[in-house]
Amino acid sequence: MGVERLADDGGPFGFDITTALAVDDLITLYGCDAVVETGCHLGDTTHYLARRYPSLPVYSCDLDPAYAAFTRHRVAGHRNARVEHVDSPALVAAAAGIHERPLFFLDAHWGPDWPLARELAAVAAGVVVIHDFDIGHPRFAFDVYGDLVCGPAMLAAMSRPPEVYFTPDPAADWPLPCLQTRRRAGVGILTVGLDTAPLQKHPHLTTRYLERAVTP
């Protein structure tokens, strides 16, 4: 459904199976108790998450009421899924107040307002996956709002910046190949209030140290 207006033709995680594999590993490694997606669009990723993790609450939202309504209808058969027409930081904060270690998939990068900084500020604890993140590789796209790149500078601007963050290694031997030939988005991964050791040991992730002097 996401072929409508999306540069990567839509599909769960933009049809980048390495992102889906990374998310699955993160949920398993940290025993995540919920999945929170921001920016559902027409529900490709939301529907996948609801089907893939039927025992976990799956939350999503969109500022566009039509997109939220369409996605809500699409996942109506999955009792674990909840889709709201609400500003994404509000959804992040609500889920953070209920669950101990959610996985947050932050993908609300559309329109004139960029809620990422407010989303990050609302995360109390859990694993965070930022879509459209600059991983420093020419094959992987990222978002730019004005002069601010969706990348390390966003993390450095957090009230409590992480010492390290992680990006998928494009050269890693993933269990399944990615067949996406169009736009692939980079992802940045960090933990809030959780040990980073499982990520540092992960064979398909690269550990990156944040330069605290970087500011937007």
Q: Report pLDDT digits (tens) over 8-38.
A: 567 899 999 999 999 999 999 999 999 999 9
Nearest Cα residue to 17 out of 52, 62, 43: 52
The DSSP secondary-structure symbol of 135 reads: -
Give domain status of residue 129, yes or no.
no
Residue 108: pLDDT band with limits 50, 70, 90: confident
Confidence grade of residue 214 (pLDDT, cut at 50, 70, 90): very low
Residue 158 has pLDDT above 50, yes or no: yes
Evaluate whether residue 14 is within a structural domain: yes
Q: Is residue 131 in a domain?
A: no
Quote the pLDDT of residue 27: 98
Beta bridge partners of 131: 187
How many domains does the chain contain in total?
Answer: 1
Instruction: Compute the average pLDDT of residues 126-145.
Output: 96
Q: What SS3 class is residue 79?
A: coil
**Tokens (6 digits) for 56:** 């976990």
Question: For the segment 162-179, what is each residue's pLDDT rounded down to a tens digit?
Answer: 999 999 999 999 999 998
Average pLDDT score over residue span 114-125: 96
Distance CA 149, CA 153 (A): 7
CATH number at residue 107: 3.40.50.1100
- The residue among 8, 12, 39, 13 whose CA lies nearest residue 113 is 39
Residue 145 lies in a domain: no
First-to-last CA distance in the chain? Answer: 34
> What is the 8-class DSSP label of residue 157?
T
The predicted structure's pLDDT at residue 4: 59
pLDDT category of residue 212 using cuts at 50, 70 and 90: low
Domain assignment of residue 72, given as a range:
1-113+156-180
Give CA separation, 214 vs 20, 99, 148, 154, 182, in Å: 30, 31, 11, 9, 31
Residue 12 resides in a domain: yes
- Tell whether 189 is covered by a domain: no
pLDDT, residue 137, reads: 97
Average the pLDDT over 43-60 and give the result.
98
Cβ distance 154 to 120 under 8 Å?
A: yes
Residue 6 has pLDDT above 70, yes or no: no
In a domain, 108, yes or no: yes
Kindly state whether residue 185 falls inside one of the protein's structural domains: no
pLDDT at 147 (0 to 100)? 86
Is the C-alpha dihedral spanning 64, 67, 70, 75 positive or negative?
negative
Given a cut of 80, whether residue 112 has pLDDT beyond it is no
> In residues, how long is the chain?
216
Look at residues 137, 210, 176 and name the one whose alpha carbon lies nearest to residue 22. Answer: 176
